Every structure is written in C-alpha cells, then in structure tokens.
Structure 1
Amino acid sequence: MSANTSKLYDTDYGLWLASQIDSLKSHQWDDLDIDNLIEELEGLNRSNKRELESYLVVILTHLLKWEYQPSARTGSWNGSIFNGRKRIARLLKEQPSLKTYIPEILPDAYADGVEIACRETRMPSDTFPPECPYSISQILDLDFLPGDEELPD
C-alpha cells in the first residue's frame, strides 16, 4: 500500500473508498489500506447494531404508550410502530445475524423506551414493568399491539 492511499483516507474519504473498491475489484491486494478497511468494516457493523437498537427503542416507546395510555392512542403511534418493524425486518433480511444481537440489546432499549415514554406521557416510571413485557416475536410482529388482544369469554 502506498503512503498516499493511507493519507487519502484522512483527506478525501470518497476518493479513498473508490480506490479501495478499485483495488479489490482488480485483485490488487498490495494496494489495500488494510488497517483503515478493518476500521471501516467494524464501524459499519457497529452502525447496523445502533440502527437496530434505535428502531427497537422507538417501537418499545410507542408500544408502552399504546398499552398504558389507551385514551391517547393515535395513528402516528401505530404508524411509528409499523415503520420501525418494517425497517428492522429489512435490516434483518440484509443481515440475519443481527437477530441474535436483539436479546443482548433489548434490556437497554427497553430502559430507554420507558424513559422516553415517561417523558412523553408524564407518567411515573413505576407505571411500566421493570422488565420488557413483550417477547421479541411480539415486538417484531407487524400486527401485534398490546391491549388489542381478544378478551376470553
């Protein structure tokens, strides 16, 4: 790898990226900036995990508001839940291994969702369960909304 390639990473990211793509396509392994490529790939993986967690927080916030403030339910809450679920489905389709990451991030995503729901509803935090009351399959289910279950006869 030339010193210019490494400098390019700091001075013109787009040009550096194009040069790395060209080197990969043409199998010019010696021209690759391995250290910065590793850094970029690790960053991409962290970014995908952050994106997943962000969508989970939004979904959980609105599920909590939907369940614990039924008189204030809005179409935008429903739309936000649906949008988050669709985005997660797309993300998991592109990167199925992220699904195994959900149990790890769910407690923090739920805690954030509770905090946001408290701020938005002005309800005290002890209104909400201390641990996430929804299963992962419920959270990701396009049709699940808490409190909408049919009551037994």
Structure 2
Amino acid sequence: MVAQLIKNQTNLYDTDYNLWILETVKKLENKDFNSVDWDNLIEEVLDLSKRDKRKLESLLIKLIEHLLILGYWQSEKERNKGHWEREILNFQQQIIRELEDSPSLKNHLKNKFLDCYQKGCKLASKHSQLPLNTFPENPIAPLEQILDENWLP
C-alpha cells in the first residue's frame, strides 16, 4: 500500500507538476505528513535556492554588460546613454530587491562576481561589436560600487 502511494505521488510529480504542488500543499496544510512526497518536495525546495542564485547571476551579468557598453561604446553613447542608464538602474534595483529578500545570497554574488564579469564582457563585446580586449580583464569596480544606484562608469 505504501509503495503504491509513493509510486502514485511520483507519477503525479512526473505527469502533472501543478497538481502535484496543489496536492502537496493540501497535505502540508492538513498536516498529513505521512503521505507527502518528501523526496520530490526536498528537491523542489533546494531548486528554489538554485533558481534565485541563477536569477541573481543573470541580472548581474546584464548589469555588467550595460555598464561596459555605457563606459566603452563611445560611438553609440550619445544616442543610447539614456536607455543604457535606465537598464543599469533597472538591473541594480532588481538585484537589490532580491538581496533584501535573501541577504545571504550576497556571498554567492561575491563568489561569482569575476565569472559574471567575464560573461558580461562577452555579451558587451557581442552587443557592441567591439573586440573583447576593449574591456578590462579585471572588473571595472567592486561589486558594492556596481550595485550602487548613484555610480556610473
């Protein structure tokens, strides 16, 4: 009986994810802990952290891309400066909002900063068609400064 229940939960997880979530929430609300699909629930909770980390990395990469474009793509600066500055502020605000919800993720961003910077350089190069070596090999500013809404290169 227990084996069949676990099999049905796993099948529901694999066949109708949304229904699995609704059923899991219902079981948790009813404190029906014995019938909760714990393995998949644990996996999903861990994945929430991974998603937040990936989201922050993606936002930081886009922020760096736009900071580099603003600082180094001189031929387009006058025409696009306002757009780039708006995008920079938008990415900064999104990152700050995420870090306010989960301050411990700031350490993750610090650890991934150089990797994000290098990816941002590649995107800036592709976007601007400037050679990759146009952009400094090392970050143009520390993470704290890059996240400062009052700072621009």
TM-score (norm 2): 0.89
Query: Which structure 1 residue ranges, 5 or more long, are not aligned?
Result: 147-153
Alignment equivalent of 1:129, drawn from 109, 112, 136 = 136
1:35-74 deviation per Cα after TM superposition (whole angstroms, max 9, x unaligned) = 1011111211111111000100111011111111245232
Q: 2 CA distance for matches of 1:61 and 1:78?
A: 12
Q: 1:101 aligns with which of 93, 102, 108?
A: 108
* Aligned residue identity for 1:69: W
The counterpart of 2:11, out of the listed 7, 14, 17, is 7
1:80-91 equivalences under 5 Å are 80-91=87-98
- Alignment correspondent of 2:45: 41
Residue 123 of structure 1 aligns with an amino acid whose one-letter code is L
Q: Which AA in structure 1 matches 2:24? A: Q
SS, match of residue 136 in structure 2: coil
What is the root-mean-square deviation in Å for CA atoms of aligned residues? 1.4
* 1:55 pairs with 2:62: no
SS in 2 for 1:96: coil
1:137-152 mapped onto 2 (5 Å cutoff): 137-146=144-153
- Aligned residue pair count: 146
Counterparts of 1:93 and 1:70 in 2: how far apart (Å)?
Answer: 34
Q: 2:122 aligns with which of 107, 115, 118?
A: 115
Distance in structure 2 (CA, Å) of the matches to 1:32 and 1:49: 27
Structure 2 Cα separation of the partners of residues 70 and 41 of structure 1: 45
Q: What letter is aligned with 2:142? A: S
Calculate the TM-score normalised by the size of structure 1.
0.89
Paired residues for 1:16-27 under 5 Å: 16-27=20-31
Q: Of Structure 1 and Structure 2, which has the larger fraction of its residues in helix?
A: 2
- Please, which runs of 5 or more residues in structure 2 have no aligned partner? none
